[in-house]
């Protein structure tokens, strides 16, 4: 009989033992080496020599329990043994998880405790490993306040007594090596809280997860480090053309009459060539991290390390990224480190305490989204998130992260009334811990994965969002220009007859256009929740709607800043975006929609072809007004310049009136040709154009040379010197 007291046996049987390795497995006793195994459901257990397979001993059941124990020959058992277990209907040989040593190395324990482990995903979670010549999976999970943690799954009948874990008090991590597991095995952590609650949690570091409504994590190998294709880093540079096609994978296109999603590989073979053909440089994906609720579009993730299984396996997702790279396209992921949902299997109250979230709901609960806010004051939480950023960039080779809801992270009073928020240590409203996290994340990304980009969705005037952390900034490479977007769409929605009264909505943005490195976003947020589609927001009759939209796109591509357009907007989808159905691809059989589609392709090509259109997007030297005060006619004109002085002249007419004989001052004498005219008949316009014009020595707009042109109705025209003999 075993040397264990009844209290230990009862604790094991109730799965309440906080130190199972102290009592299970091989242990020296006064009588010799005793092996103990807790195997609920077993009828008999024998200890077998690992290499020869010869029996060493038969373990006896402790009366009234599922604990088996017995003395074994010490020398062969120390070399290694397995357990031959007779169950009700079969016999199996298993390796005893309690005969293996610690999973985490001392250095990893130190770095995890310090919160400076750059790649915590290499140690935490589920990892294939070989220990003492036995293959299996090493599990490790941070749950410092738990009384007991077990890994449960299909491999142990979801019984929390079978794989109770070892607690590494130094870093608050529970660990165990589970022999024999394979890719595809499903698991969760069963956690006994300090209050006696039994919780079931998905793995925060799970590399794959079941599709909702199932909640378990799935054993998958850690993806290898992705190589950086030549030229990818330069493609993200602020002097390079960046024009982004934003996509929700579940509704871009569907199959089987709209009932089924395309998988990652099907999307790679259809979405990637489509975006490339349209001339985009990057595809931005709404969050692909695993999430339980389709209606969140991925913005309420639970599996931050798991590509959603809606569209296939992690390997399938990596194939998508690699296919995009092979086609010359970058991939940007929407990333959500601001908040997470309250689902029971998620991060909330992970070990029975507010571990990942702030405990005080005035800090830790989003009233707008009914979600929990990450506790950025905890070094382990910051490390979890920084590691996650690096994981997507390094292990899947994505080119950038667009960080969602940054404004909600920066301010403690975000969307809160007086008295509903907790000031920082200095009595202010800024979330200093979140700011420190963002700076560290951007610093780590910049050092460890140079050439990738981070983009902030930040809707306030917080200073220095795209300034380096060393200079007091947040360290993002780009920031969404939400102010420009709101002003521009507001202006575009006004009846042209009244636009002269709202002239400043166009000119004001140039006051701050180069205060940050901006992306100009016409994103998913602008075509949902009752806002209507892009074409639906335009005023006027059918012809004017399309003309207004083409003009708006011409203005977007000409304006300083990188470009972003949400799917469906490139062919003027009528309906507001619906995440539960495919885009209305049938519209491309109609000429007006074909025209917008062709214009987007041509705008992308001109933007990429002429350095003046992109090289100084983020530099004040790349923009110069020619006409900013023609209020009566709602005409604007400006120059875009390249670093070598080459230029493009842009004229925008925001009324449906043709401006015949409009004299425009130009920078240099010469012949000028139109490279874009959004009123061109090939786009569905009225065909008012000029072809090639020669400048005249007649001063206008403070310039010695001028062109006498016809400015098309609701049209944008882009001019280059005819000596630029290359065509886009």
Question: 57 has which bridge partners?
Answer: 47
Other Cβ atoms within 10 Å of 594 Cβ, number: 17
Question: 502 has which bridge partners?
Answer: none
400-403 and 330-335 strand pairing: parallel
Closest CA to 137 of 81, 95, 192, 167: 95
Question: 638 has which bridge partners?
Answer: 625, 650
**Structure tokens belonging to residue 27:** 């242990």
**In degrees, to the nearest 5, what angle opens at C-alpha 698 toward C-alphas 692 and 701?**
90
282-285 and 330-335 strand pairing: parallel
| In contact, 185 and 154? CB cutoff 8 Å | yes
| In contact, 338 and 405? CB cutoff 8 Å | yes
First to last CA, the chain: 86
The residue from 96, 108, 363, 457 that is catalytic is 457
Closest CA to 373 of 333, 422, 334: 422
Is 404 designated active site? yes
CA distance 604 to 558: 10
CA distance 46 to 59: 6
Query: How far, in whole angstroms, is CA 570 from its chain's centroid?
Result: 23
Is 457 designated active site? yes
The residue from 190, 203, 246, 404 that is catalytic is 404
CA distance 336 to 272: 24
Grouping H, G, I as helix, E, B as strand and the rest as coil, residue 18 is coil
Grouping H, G, I as helix, E, B as strand and the rest as coil, residue 492 is helix
Here the contacts of 695-702 (C-beta below 8 Å, separation 24 or greater) are 695/666, 695/668, 695/669, 695/670, 695/671, 697/669, 698/663, 699/665, 700/663, 700/664, 700/665, 701/626, 701/627, 701/637, 701/664, 701/665, 702/665
Active site residues: 404, 457
């Amino acid at each position: 009989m075993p040397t264990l007291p009844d209290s230990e046996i009862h604790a094991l049987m109730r799965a309440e033992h906080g130190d199972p390795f102290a009592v299970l497995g091989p242990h020296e006793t006064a009588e010799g080496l005793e092996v103990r195994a807790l195997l609920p459901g077993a009828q008999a257990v024998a200890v077998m020599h690992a290499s020869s397979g010869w029996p060493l001993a038969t373990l006896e059941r402790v009366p009234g329990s599922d604990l088996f124990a017995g003395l074994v020959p010490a020398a062969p058992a120390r070399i290694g043994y397995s357990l031959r277990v007779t169950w009700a209907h079969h016999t199996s040989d298993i390796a005893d998880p309690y005969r293996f040593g610690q999973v985490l190395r001392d250095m990893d324990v130190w770095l995890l405790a310090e919160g400076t482990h750059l790649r915590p995903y290499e140690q935490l979670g589920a990892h294939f490993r070989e220990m003492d010549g036995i293959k299996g999976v090493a599990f490790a999970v941070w749950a410092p306040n738990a009384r007991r943690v077990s890994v449960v799954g299909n491999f142990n009948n979801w019984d929390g007594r079978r794989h109770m874990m070892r607690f590494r008090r130094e870093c608050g991590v529970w660990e165990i090596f589970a022999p024999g597991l394979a890719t595809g095995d499903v698991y969760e952590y069963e956690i006994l809280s300090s209050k006696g609650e039994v919780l079931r949690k998905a793995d925060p570091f799970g590399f794959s997860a079941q599709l909702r409504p199932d909640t378990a994590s799935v054993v998958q190998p850690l993806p290898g480090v992705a190589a950086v294709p030549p030229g990818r880093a330069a493609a993200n540079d602020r002097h390079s053309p960046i024009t982004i096609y934003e996509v929700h994978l579940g509704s871009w296109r569907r199959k089987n009459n709209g009932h089924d999603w395309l998988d990652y590989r099907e999307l790679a073979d259809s979405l990637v060539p489509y975006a490339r053909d349209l001339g985009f440089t990057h595809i931005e994906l709404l969050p692909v991290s695993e999430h339980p609720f389709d209606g969140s579009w991925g913005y309420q993730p639970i599996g931050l390390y798991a590509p959603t299984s809606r569209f296939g396996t992690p390997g399938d997702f990596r194939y998508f990224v690699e296919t995009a790279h092979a086609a010359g396209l970058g991939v940007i992921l929407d990333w959500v480190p601001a908040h997470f949902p309250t689902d029971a299997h998620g991060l909330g109250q992970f070990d029975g305490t507010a571990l990942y979230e702030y405990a005080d709901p005035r800090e830790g609960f989003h009233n707008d989204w009914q979600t929990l806010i990450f506790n950025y004051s905890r070094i382990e939480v910051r490390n979890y998130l920084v590691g996650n950023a690096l994981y997507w960039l390094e292990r899947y080779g994505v080119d950038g992260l667009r960080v969602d809801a940054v404004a909600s992270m920066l301010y403690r009073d975000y969307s809160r009334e007086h008295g509903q928020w907790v000031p920082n240590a200095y009595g202010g409203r800024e979330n200093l811990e979140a700011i420190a996290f963002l700076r560290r994340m951007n610093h780590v990304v910049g050092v460890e994965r140079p050439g990738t980009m981070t983009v902030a969705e930040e809707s306030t005037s917080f200073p220095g969002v795209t300034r380096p952390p060393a200079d007091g900034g947040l360290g993002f490479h780009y920031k969404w220009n939400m102010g420009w977007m709101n002003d521009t769409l507001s202006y575009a929605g006004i009846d042209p007859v009244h636009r002269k009264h709202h002239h400043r909505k166009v000119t004001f943005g140039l006051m701050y256009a180069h205060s940050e490195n901006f992306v100009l976003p016409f994103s998913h947020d602008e075509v949902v929740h009752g806002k209507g589609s892009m074409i639906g927001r335009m005023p006027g009759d059918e012809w004017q709607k399309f003309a207004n939209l083409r003009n708006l796109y011409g203005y977007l591509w000409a304006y300083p800043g990188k470009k972003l357009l949400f799917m469906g907007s490139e062919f003027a989808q009528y309906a507001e975006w619906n995440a539960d159905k495919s885009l209305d691809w049938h519209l491309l059989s109609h000429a007006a929609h074909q025209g917008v589609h062709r214009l987007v392709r041509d705008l992308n090509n001109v933007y990429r072809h002429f350095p003046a259109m992109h090289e100084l997007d983020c530099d004040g030297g790349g923009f110069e007004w020619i006409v900013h005060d023609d209020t009566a006619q709602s005409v604007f004109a400006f120059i875009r310049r390249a670093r070598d002085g080459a230029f493009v002249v842009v004229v925008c007419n925001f009324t449906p009136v043709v401006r015949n004989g409009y004299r425009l001052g130009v920078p240099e004498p010469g012949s000028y040709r139109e490279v874009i005219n959004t009123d061109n008949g090939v786009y569905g316009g009225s065909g008012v154009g000029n072809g090639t014009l020669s400048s005249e020595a007649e001063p206008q707009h403070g310039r010695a040379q001028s062109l006498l042109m016809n400015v098309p109705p609701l049209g944008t025209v882009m001019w280059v010197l005819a000596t630029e003999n290359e065509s886009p």
